[in-house]
Amino acid sequence: MRIALVDPLGYSTPYDDRLAAALTALGHEVHLLTAPFLLDDAPEPEGYVREELFIPLSARLLRGSPRARVRRVLKGAEYLPSVRRLLRRIAALDPDVVHVQWLPRPELDIRWLRRVARERATVLTAHNALPRRARAFEPWREALGTVGRVVVHSQLSVDTLVELGVERERLVRMPHPAFDRPTDEPPARPAGHVLLFFGLIRRHKGLDVLVAALPDIVERVPDVRLVVAGDPLEPVDSVREVARSLGVDERIEWKLGFVPDSEVTSVLAGATVVVLPYREIWNSGVLALAIGHGRPAVVSDLGAMGELVREFGAGRVVAPEDAGALASACADLLTDVAALSAAYEGTLAARAALTWEEAARAHDRVYAEVLGRVGEGVPA
């Protein structure tokens, strides 16, 4: 089977890479149609073909400055020509299935998606069940009804989209696979008293909530350390000021900046518990990393995060923005050896179940279904 995976702006490059490689290992011919990965070197394709069709000019000019404001202007100017390249390439490839990972601008993307879905079996992964921008809501709803199947990562996403009007039989729940370490050996058991906040830093990630919880954690775990490792997409000065005012700044190690793939394993290996105190999220690649590296997690009860941690017993789940509950959950895992060990075993169970091989097989079943239903639900 020939499969075209489409991630226009490379929003989930590591996910795309692992899925494409796993599908290739099943015997499929896979072409990943995407954009240059600006944050790091793109993963070397394992058997599949990576084609960078989108935003070539801005990617080339701003390779070293992915956060530059002018990039948004250049991307906007390049986007529609990039879409035309995408449509020409899909026509030339003549794939059996087109699997779209993201629609960066649903109000624009619905046009080409509608055209593709009329002619080919089409699948959409809704990594986020709902868009953030209000004007994208209606075209997003149309997109969900245009494709043959919609892949989601949580039961909450299933329920949300059913309420939105998507037929339940169109929806397929596939939990996010774990991002394994680059070794066959199981990860070492966590030890010490180190909390890790990892990944891109934005307000909705709740770093301020974790810092507010830190004094209570220190009371129970006097030698606790918090490592903040990630690229601040929004300023963190106010959070650092709060840390100073609470007297916990010396407990925090700030590793600000993008963490390249070559350093991820060592950062996670040094952690006892990964903390994801998010205010809003549908799914988390950071949790998939933590699980794959055998690190228990304390997560907000949001989207797929709470479901996964509960299902496998891989940590603790707390209400969003509840600093007291967050402090208690972190301190419990850091001080209770048995609880930490059980959570570690939960990560191993999740790693064994949530493999890319199993994800590829699940996708293979979905593709087989939509190939028998090309055009189902596509507007006339």
Q: How much is the CA Rg of the chain, to the nearest whole Å?
A: 21
The Cα-based distances of 24 to 4, 5, 45, 78, 175 in angstroms read 12, 12, 10, 30, 20
pLDDT of residue 379: 38
Interval 69-98 mean pLDDT: 84
CA distance 255 to 131: 30
Phi/psi of residue 223, nearest 5 degrees: -100, 20
Taking 70 as the threshold, does the pLDDT of residue 62 lie above it? Answer: no
Side by side, which strands form the sheet with 2-7?
A: 49-52, 29-34, 2-7, 97-100, 121-125, 149-152, 171-173
Residues 286-296 pLDDT 10s: 999 999 999 99
Kindly list the distances between the CA atom of residue 57 and the CA atoms of 7, 36, 79, in Å, as whole numbers in the listed order.
Answer: 17, 10, 11
Give tens-digit pLDDT for 312-367: 999 999 999 999 999 999 999 999 999 999 999 999 999 999 999 999 999 999 99
- Alpha-carbon distances of 353 from 288, 291, 359, rounded to whole Å: 12, 11, 10
- Please check whether residues 253 and 143 belong to one and the same domain: no
Q: Rounded CA gap, 149 and 97, in Å?
A: 11
Amino acid, res. 216:
D
Mean pLDDT over the full length of the chain: 91
Lowest mean pLDDT among 34-48, 251-265, 305-319: 34-48
pLDDT above 50 for 380:
no
> Cα 319–322–326 angle (5° rounding)?
85
Residues 169, 52 share a domain: yes
Same domain, yes or no, for 207 and 158? no
Shared domain check, 301 and 157: no
Confidence label for 377 from pLDDT (cuts 50, 70 and 90):
very low
Q: How many domains would you assign to the chain?
A: 2
pLDDT of residue 64: 55
CATH number, domain of 116, equals 3.40.50.2000
Angle at 370 between CA 365 and CA 371, to 5 degrees: 95
In whole angstroms, what is the distance from residue 289 CA to residue 269 CA? 11
378 in a structural domain: no
> In this structure, are 140 and 14 located in the same domain?
yes
Q: Examine residue 188 and state whether it is found in any structural domain, yes or no.
A: no
Say yes or no to pLDDT of 100 above 50.
yes
User: What percent of the chain shows pLDDT beyond 90?
Assistant: 79
Q: Give yes or no for residue 246 having a pLDDT over 80.
A: yes
Are 104 and 203 in the same domain?
Answer: no
Position 80 in a domain: yes
Q: Do 142 and 198 lie in a common domain?
A: no
Which residues are bridge partners to 173 per DSSP? 152
Are both 204 and 147 inside the same structural domain? no
pLDDT in tens, 217-226: 999 999 999 9
Number of continuous H segments (helices) and E segments (strands) in the chain: 14, 13
251 and 103 together in one domain = no
Confidence of residue 76 (pLDDT cuts 50, 70, 90): low
Tokens 């005012």 sit at which residue? 245
| Average pLDDT score over residue span 247-265 | 92
pLDDT digits (tens, 9 = 90+) for 182-191: 667 789 999 9
In-domain check, residue 120: yes
Asked whether residue 291 is domain-assigned, the answer is yes
Within-domain flag for 321:
yes
Window from 29-43, 113-127, 345-359 with minimum mean pLDDT: 29-43
- The answer to whether residue 170 is domain-embedded is yes
Rounded (10°) angle between helices 337-353 and 303-312: 110
Is residue 272 pLDDT above 60, yes or no?
Answer: yes
Residue 24 domain boundaries: 2-177+356-371
Residue 376 lies in a domain: no
Per the structure block, which two tokens stand in for 161? Answer: 């989209």
Same domain for 337 and 210: yes
Structure confidence at residue 348 (pLDDT): 95
Q: How far is C-alpha 149 from the geometric centre of its chain's CA atoms?
A: 20
Number of Cβ within a 10 Å radius of residue 159: 14
Burial class (CB in 10 A: 0-12, 13-18, 19+), 270: middle
User: Hey, CA dihedral for 341, 223, 218, 263, is it positive or negative?
Assistant: negative
281 and 349 belong to one structural domain: yes
CA-to-CA dists, residue 363 to 5, 125, 155, angstroms: 12, 11, 17
Q: Are residues 295 and 212 in the same domain?
A: yes
DSSP secondary structure string for all residues of 13-63: HHHHHHHHHHHHHTT-EEEEEE---SSSPPPPPSSSEEEE-S-HHHHHHTT
Give the range among 70-84, 292-306, 366-380 with minimum mean pLDDT.
366-380
Res 72 pLDDT > 70? no
